């Protein structure tokens, strides 16, 4: 198999051009798209996070690595997305209020689309009322929230409360995920499902809707 260490290095060093060309070459050589994400890009991002914590990397480096990962994901996303089938459900997906991290959320969206769900991507920094509006106006039957910061985790609870106050909590299932989230936290805040990975989000969506 082609040596894919350059993809890892490109994400780690924020080299978007190399991340893109290595991904193109790997896909052309028949490497599984998810393998590229799980075995090379995500470990590189984990190392970026470690360096940030160790004060070896700062916000500019985080941004460059995020840009490199996004460049590669742009090529992968269409391959994860199913086409031509009736959606099995409609998901309002977003990163919660106060949180700007969207790489994991975008992967979750691509996997859900690949799993046959219609995804309404609300973006990042999504306030509770925007999730409520998506349920009311767009008739989403799943609300999927991502959070990457311990400080923004409580926004998930606030959103669930907003769904309750708006009288729509019973008509939706709530899925949560993101690095600091756990099954226990999901249960604590009254979410219906949790997944630690983007691939697992599809199984979690199926489970809560079954």
* Residues in touch with ligand B1M (CB under 6 A): 42, 45-46, 48-49, 52-53, 59, 62-63, 65-66, 98-105, 107-108, 144-146, 148-151, 175-180, 195, 197-198, 201
Is the distance from CB of 131 to CB of 138 less than 8 angstroms?
no
142-146, strands of its sheet edge to edge: 118-126, 90-96, 142-146, 173-177, 193-194
User: For residue 128, how far is the Cα from the chain centroid?
Assistant: 18
Min dist. Cβ of residue 151 to ligand B1M (A): 6
Pick the closer one to ligand B1M by CB: 72 or 144: 144
Residue 181: CB minimum distance to ligand B1M, A = 7
Q: Tell me the closest approach of the beta carbon of residue 57 to ligand B1M, in angstroms.
A: 8
Phi, psi (deg, nearest 5) at residue 143: -110, 120
User: Do strands 118-126 and 90-96 pair parallel, antiparallel, or not at all (unpaired)?
Assistant: parallel
Least spacing, CB of residue 79 vs ligand B1M, in Å: 16
Query: Between 66 and 71, whose beta carbon lies closer to ligand B1M?
Result: 66
The least CB distance from residue 10 to ligand B1M, in Å, is 14
In the complex, the smallest distance separating the C-beta of residue 91 from ligand B1M, rounded to whole angstroms, is 8
Indicate the residue among 84 and 106 with the shorter CB distance to ligand B1M: 106
Residue whose CB is less far from ligand B1M, 28 or 155: 155
Q: Please identify, using beta-carbon distances, which residue of 84 and 208 lies nearer to ligand B1M.
A: 208
3-state secondary structure of 163: helix
Q: Encoding tokens for residue 205? A: 């969506």
Q: Where are the strands (E) in 89-141, listed by range? A: 90-96, 118-126
Spatial contact of 110 and 88, defined as CB atoms under 8 Å apart: no
Cα 82 from chain centroid (whole Å): 17
Residue number with CB closer to ligand B1M (28 or 148): 148
CA–CA distance, 8 with 134 (Å, rounded to integer) = 37
């Amino acid at each position: 198999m082609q040596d894919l260490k350059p993809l890892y290095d490109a994400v780690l060093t924020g080299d978007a051009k190399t991340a893109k060309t290595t991904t193109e070459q790997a896909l052309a050589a028949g490497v599984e798209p998810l393998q590229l994400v799980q075995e090379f890009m995500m470990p590189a991002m984990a190392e970026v996070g470690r360096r940030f914590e160790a004060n070896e990397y700062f916000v500019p480096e985080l941004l460059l690595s995020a840009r490199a990962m996004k460049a590669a994901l742009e090529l992968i996303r269409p391959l994860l997305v199913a086409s031509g089938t009736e959606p099995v459900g409609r998901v309002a997906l977003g990163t919660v209020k106060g949180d700007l991290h969207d790489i994991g959320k975008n992967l979750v969206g691509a996997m859900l689309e690949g799993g046959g769900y219609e995804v309404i991507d609300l973006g990042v920094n999504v306030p509770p009322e925007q999730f409520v509006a998506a349920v009311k106006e767009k008739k989403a039957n799943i609300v999927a929230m991502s959070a990457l910061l311990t400080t923004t985790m409580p926004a998930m609870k606030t959103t669930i409360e907003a769904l309750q106050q708006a009288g729509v909590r019973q008509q939706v299932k709530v899925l949560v995920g993101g690095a600091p989230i756990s099954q226990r936290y999901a249960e604590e805040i009254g979410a219906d499902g949790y997944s630690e990975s983007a691939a697992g989000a599809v199984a979690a969506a199926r489970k809560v809707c079954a």
